[in-house]
Structure 1
Amino acid sequence: MSKSDLIEKIAEKSNITKSAATEIVNTILASLNEALKNSEDVSLVGFGTFSVQKREERMGRDPKTGSPITIAARNVVKFKPASGLKSLINQSPDSNSSKELS
C-alpha cells in the first residue's frame, strides 16, 4: 500500500475529503519523523513500536573489488510489531477479512 492508497482509504472510511486525509497523514508522518529524529520510541498500541538504534562501525567488503572497507556508524530505525499485528498477519487468508487491528 502506498501513501496515496492510504490517504484514499482514510478519506473513504472516514467520510472526509482527500485533502483533509492528506493533511492528517502528513501530520502523523511528520510527528513520527520528529520523534524518531529526537531518538524517542514511538509506540502504537496494537500495531508496534518504532525505535532508533545506533549501529556501530563495522568492517565490510567492497562488492566490486572484494577489498575490506570500514562501514561508518549510523542510526537505524527498527520496528517491533505488536503481538496483535503478528497474530493478524499469521492467520489463514479466509479469516483475515473479518478481523482488523484496533
Structure 2
Amino acid sequence: MTKPMTKTQLVAALAEEMGADKKTAGAALDAITGLITKEVAGGGAVTLPGVGKFYCRERPERMVRNPATGEQIKKDADKVVKITLAKALKDSVNV
C-alpha cells in the first residue's frame, strides 16, 4: 500500500490538471472543502459526480463497552458523517 496523497501533492496535481497556478488550485480545493463541510454540518448532503455522496446520519443512543475495563456504558445519540462511493469510482478500482 502506498502513502496517501498529501494536500500539497493534491494541490500540485490539481494545478497541473487545471492549467493554473498552485495558489488558484489551493483556493479551489479549500472552497470545495468548505462548502462540503458547511452543507453536511447543516444536515444536508453533497454529491460529487464520479466520487460519491457525503451526508450526515444520526445514530441513536446505545450501549457500548469500555475495552479497558469491559464495563457497559450508555453512549448518547450523536451524528456521524458518511460517504457513499459512486459506482464509477468502485468500478475504476476493480478494473
TM-score after normalising by structure 1: 0.83
Deviation at 1:24, TM superposition (A): 0.6
Report how many aligned residue pairs link the two structures.
91
Task: Give the counterpart of 2:61 among 57, 63, 83.
Answer: 57
SS of match in other structure, 1:46? coil
Which runs of 4 or more aligned residues in structure 1 lie more than 2 Å from their structure 2 counterparts after TM superposition? Answer: none
Q: How many angstroms apart in 2 are the aligned matches of 1:77 and 1:3?
A: 21
Structure 1: gaps (5+ residues): 92-102
| Cα RMSD, aligned residues only | 1.1
TM-score after normalising by structure 2: 0.88
Q: How many angstroms apart in 1 are the aligned matches of 2:64 and 2:20?
A: 50
Q: Does 1:66 align with 2:61?
A: no
Q: Does 1:12 align with 2:16?
A: yes
Structure 2 match to 1:90:
94
SS of match in other structure, 1:43? strand
SS of match in other structure, 2:34? helix
Task: Give the counterpart of 1:77 among 73, 78, 81.
Answer: 81
Query: Sequence identity, in percent?
Result: 33
Deviation at 1:7, TM superposition (A): 0.6
